[in-house]
Chains A and B, each alone.
Chain A
Amino acid sequence: MAEQNTRQDTLEYAQRLGDDAVVLGHRLSEWCSNAPFLEEDLALANTALDFIGRARMYYGYAAELADDGRDEDDFAYLRDQRDYRNLLLHELPRGDFAFTQARQYFIDVYNQLFLEELRQSADERLAAIAAKAVKESRYHLRRSRDWMLRLGDGTEESHRRTQTAVDNLWGYTHELFELDPLEQRLVDAGVAVDVAALRDPWREQVGTLLDEATLRQPADDWAVRGGREGYHTENLGHLLTEMQALHRAYPGCSW
């Protein structure tokens, strides 16, 4: 019985991690052909692909655990926004280039810490996905960190835009470090990452970088949460509408 429950929890957990990855991957892909210059266009598109690839691995695993005939596409394309459980930070509109890079930096620092822990998971499949993804996150972080320095300690305008982005994102970062009962059960079973323990190292790393980039760390005077329960900002519905339109209009289409 306990084993059956852990299986159900793990399915939900894999789906959550897939949701985080596919939503951010989609946001990044929106830059394709719109980035400030060619190299950056390629970098954003390649990073988007890494996240979409992760989503496929997480969803593929969720589909195996569900064992009810669904496949990865069903998870990505046939669930509505209330069924999506991504953390809200991932779904916010791409904003300007500073906003995209600041969000990416926050998530890259988080992912590096998170995936290092997930590599130790008692669940072998999640551990294998993490071992693969963490290597890519190291490259993502190197790039987004570099951009934070260049933009924060850059021109007056790049500084202003980056500070605005950091201020507007900050209230969405608290949710990254909160555990609900399901994740707590999985932490106890050795499967999930205890994200509450990542808060201090994340803050230390981010705080040091913000200093170096001449940016101010915002006050903790507001927080938005709800993603893991399926309560989203209005932005997710628009994103899913675009992302799912083709698959819903032509089910199973491929080319």
Chain B
Amino acid sequence: MVAAARSRPTDTAWRLRLARREASGLPEIWALLDRLTDPEIPAVSLWDLGILRDLAWRDGRLIVTITPTYCGCPAMSEIEADIRATLEQAGYGPVEIETELKPAWSTDELSPEAREALRGYGIAPPCIGSALTEKPQCPRCGSGQTHPLAEFGSTACKALWQCDECHEAFDYFKPI
């Protein structure tokens, strides 16, 4: 038990995702989509968040596979519209968007860039391993002495925490 708790969390989920992107063999289309960001967290791209999963041509149509972050994420329809508009404008349309539920989205799929961008944006990134018990570090001063204020912050994916040292309240991207 102790050994398990101490074992280093891994970034397997992220690596698998990266491998899938590379296997699709469509770097120029990925590059187009890399410009799209989350409507609620404009500092992070859809790819870095793990919403974009795959690209493929099927019967002459471009298929974009996405996954929702939370069941009730209200930004999903806007995200789909952004993807459609971007690709169709670039001459790839009409595209088809497929939603993939399995495996369920996890914050372990976030890219290392997403974690840095969140921190820079004032949001503490989620710990790897989806542990509900771990304390986030304050994104302002880096202190590990923090406490929760509310289980839900400004969106479903965030909780509201406060730093005990600099006393700043901050959003924590919940590990899930």
- Note all chain A residues with C-beta closer than 8 A to B160: 39
Q: Is the pair B102, A131 in contact by a Cβ cutoff of 8 Å?
A: yes
CB 8 Å contact bits of A70-112 with B (1 = contact, 0 = none): 0000000000000000000000000000000000000000000
A30 contacts chain B at the CB level, 8 A cutoff: no
A128 contacts chain B at the CB level, 8 A cutoff: yes
Q: Is the pair B150, A43 in contact by a Cβ cutoff of 8 Å?
A: yes
B153 contacts chain A at the CB level, 8 A cutoff: yes
Q: Is the pair A132, B153 in contact by a Cβ cutoff of 8 Å?
A: no
Q: Is the pair B72, A46 in contact by a Cβ cutoff of 8 Å?
A: yes
- Note all chain A residues with C-beta closer than 8 A to B5: none
Q: Is the pair A135, B104 in contact by a Cβ cutoff of 8 Å?
A: yes
CB 8 Å contact bits of A43-83 with B (1 = contact, 0 = none): 10011111111101100000000000000000000000000
Bound-complex Cα distance A43 to B149 (A)? 12
Q: Is the pair A143, B151 in contact by a Cβ cutoff of 8 Å?
A: yes
B92 contacts chain A at the CB level, 8 A cutoff: no
Q: Is the pair B72, A128 in contact by a Cβ cutoff of 8 Å?
A: no
Q: Is the pair B72, A51 in contact by a Cβ cutoff of 8 Å?
A: yes
Q: Tell which of A50, A54, A125 has the most Cβ of chain B within 10 Å.
A: A50
Q: Is the pair A39, B72 in contact by a Cβ cutoff of 8 Å?
A: no
Bound-complex Cα distance A50 to B73 (A)? 7
Interface size on A, residues (CB 8 A): 31
Bound-complex Cα distance A50 to B101 (A)? 15
A129 contacts chain B at the CB level, 8 A cutoff: yes
Given contacts A39-B150, A136-B71, are A50 and B176 in contact (CB under 8 A)? no
Partner of A133, one of B71, B73, B151: B71
CB 8 Å contact bits of B142-176 with A (1 = contact, 0 = none): 00000001111111100010000000000000101
Given contacts A132-B104, A139-B174, A142-B132, are A54 and B71 in contact (CB under 8 A)? yes
A124 contacts chain B at the CB level, 8 A cutoff: yes
- Note all chain A residues with C-beta closer than 8 A to B153: 42
- Note all chain B residues with C-beta closer than 8 A to A132: 68, 71, 101, 104-105
Q: Is the pair B152, A49 in contact by a Cβ cutoff of 8 Å?
A: no
Q: Is the pair A43, B104 in contact by a Cβ cutoff of 8 Å?
A: no
> Closest chain B residue to A124 by CB distance?
B102
- Note all chain A residues with C-beta closer than 8 A to B27: none
Bound-complex Cα distance A48 to B153 (A)? 14
- Note all chain A residues with C-beta closer than 8 A to B130: 135
Q: How far is the CB of B67 from chain A (nearest CB, A)?
A: 9
Q: How far is the CB of B132 from chain A (nearest CB, A)?
A: 7
Bound-complex Cα distance A47 to B101 (A)? 19
A138 contacts chain B at the CB level, 8 A cutoff: yes
Within 8 A of B (CB), among A132-176: 132-133, 135-136, 138-139, 142-143, 146
B74 contacts chain A at the CB level, 8 A cutoff: yes
Q: Is the pair B104, A49 in contact by a Cβ cutoff of 8 Å?
A: no
Q: Is the pair B154, A53 in contact by a Cβ cutoff of 8 Å?
A: no
Bound-complex Cα distance A47 to B130 (A)? 19
30 contacts between A and B (CB under 8 A): A39-B150, A39-B160, A42-B152, A42-B153, A42-B154, A43-B150, A43-B151, A43-B152, A46-B152, A49-B70, A49-B71, A49-B72, A49-B73, A50-B70, A50-B71, A53-B73, A54-B71, A56-B71, A57-B71, A128-B101, A131-B104, A132-B71, A132-B105, A135-B176, A136-B71, A136-B176, A138-B132, A139-B132, A142-B151, A146-B151
Binding site for A on B (CB under 8 A): 68, 70-74, 101-106, 130, 132, 149-156, 160, 174, 176
A53-B72, A132-B68, A132-B101 known, 16 other contacts, Cβ within 8 Å: A39-B152, A46-B152, A46-B155, A46-B156, A47-B152, A49-B70, A49-B74, A50-B70, A50-B72, A53-B70, A124-B102, A132-B71, A135-B176, A142-B132, A142-B151, A143-B151
Binding site for B on A (CB under 8 A): 25, 39-40, 42-43, 46-54, 56-57, 124-125, 127-129, 131-133, 135-136, 138-139, 142-143, 146
